[in-house]
C-alpha cells in the first residue's frame, strides 16, 4: 500500500468556487501530483477545533504529514498585533495545523512543511515571524502571494536533510511570500538561506525527518528532480516507519 500522508486542507468560503454554493475544503493539485509521483497517497484534513487527545488519535491513521501554502498566520499566536499587510488569516486553521505538527513531531512522524507550513512549524515551536518584507531594501525578490512568484537562489547547509533530499547545496526556488522567519522556534535549525540572509529552509533534527521550506517545491517538481526529491524523501521516510 502507498504510504498515507495527512494534508491539512484550506477552507474555501462559499461562492469562491464557481457553482459550489457551500463552503469547501481544497488544496492545489500540484501538491497531489508531486506526492503521487513520489508514491504517496493523500488524506485531506479539514481545519477544525480539535483537542490534544483527538489529534493524536487522528494521526494514528497516517504515515506522514504535509503542510502546504496559504494565508498568513494570526500574529497573536506569537504575541504581536497584525500589520495592515496581513491577509487570509484563519485562526482556526492556525491552531489546527500547529496542533498537527506538534503531535506529528511528538509521534516521530516525518513532516514536510511548505511556505505557510514552514511558518506554521516555526510558530508552533515558539518562534516568531517578520510580518512584511516585500520591497525592503537589500532583499532579493521573494515574490508577492497570489500575485507574482519570483525565482531566487537558496544555499543549503551541506549534509542536512534538505540538501540530501534535493541532491544539491545551491538550488533555484520559486517563492511568493511577504513574511519571513524572525526568531527560530525551539528545536529547529536553519538548513538554508537566500543570498540576502532570509531563512528559507529549516529542520527539526532531534527525532524523525522534519523538513520545512519557505518556497514552493511543488511548482517545479515535475521538471526538477531536486524539488521532487523533497516529496520523494517524505514518502520514503513514511514508508520506513
- Structural domain boundaries in the chain: 4-239
Distance CA 72, CA 88 (A): 6
216 is known as an active-site residue: yes
Considering 142, 178, 216, 227, which one is annotated as catalytic? 216
Q: Is 60 noted as a catalytic residue in this protein?
A: no
Is 218 one of the catalytic residues? yes
pLDDT of 38: 98
pLDDT in tens, 57-108: 999 999 999 999 999 999 999 999 999 999 999 999 999 999 999 999 999 9
Query: Which CATH fold would you assign to the domain 4-239?
Result: Rossmann fold (3.40.50)
38 CB-side CA count, 13 A = 31
Geometric angle at alpha carbon 16, from 34 and 133, rounded to 5°: 65
Active-site residue identified among 97, 200, 203, 218 = 218
Residue 17 has pLDDT above 80, yes or no: no
| pTM recorded for the entire structure | 0.95
| Catalytic residue of the set 115, 152, 203, 227 | 115
Helix (H) or strand (E) holding 145: none
d(CA 43, CA 41) in angstroms, rounded, equals 7
Q: What is the pLDDT of residue 36?
A: 98
Amino acid at each position: 500500500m502507498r504510504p498515507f500522508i495527512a494534508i491539512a486542507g484550506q477552507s474555501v468560503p462559499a461562492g469562491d468556487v464557481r457553482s459550489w454554493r457551500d463552503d469547501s475544503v481544497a488544496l492545489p493539485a500540484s501538491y497531489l501530483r508531486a506526492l503521487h509521483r513520489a508514491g504517496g497517497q493523500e488524506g485531506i484534513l479539514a481545519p477544525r477545533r480539535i483537542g490534544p487527545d483527538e489529534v493524536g488519535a487522528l494521526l494514528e491513521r497516517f504515515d506522514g504529514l504535509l503542510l502546504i501554502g496559504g494565508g498568513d498566520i494570526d500574529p497573536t499566536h506569537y504575541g504581536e498585533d497584525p500589520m495592515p499587510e496581513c491577509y487570509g488569516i484563519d485562526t482556526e486553521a492556525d491552531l489546527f495545523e500547529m496542533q498537527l505538527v506538534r503531535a506529528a513531531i511528538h509521534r516521530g512522524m516525518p513532516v514536510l512543511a511548505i511556505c505557510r507550513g514552514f511558518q506554521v512549524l516555526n510558530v508552533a515551536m515558539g518562534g516568531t515571524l517578520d510580518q512584511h518584507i516585500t520591497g525592503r531594501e537589500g532583499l532579493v525578490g521573494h515574490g508577492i502571494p497570489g500575485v507574482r512568484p519570483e525565482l531566487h537562489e537558496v544555499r543549503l547547509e551541506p549534509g542536512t536533510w534538505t540538501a540530501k533530499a534535493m541532491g544539491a547545496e545551491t538550488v533555484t526556488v520559486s517563492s511568493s511570500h511577504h513574511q519571513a522567519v524572525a526568531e527560530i522556534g525551539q528545536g529547529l535549525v536553519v538548513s538554508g538561506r537566500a543570498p540576502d540572509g532570509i531563512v528559507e529552509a529549516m529542520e527539526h533534527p532531534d527525532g524523525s525527518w522534519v523538513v520545512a521550506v519557505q518556497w514552493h517545491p511543488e511548482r517545479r517538481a515535475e521538471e526538477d528532480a531536486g524539488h521532487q526529491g523533497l516529496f520523494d524523501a517524505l514518502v520514503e521516510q513514511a514508508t520506513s516507519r
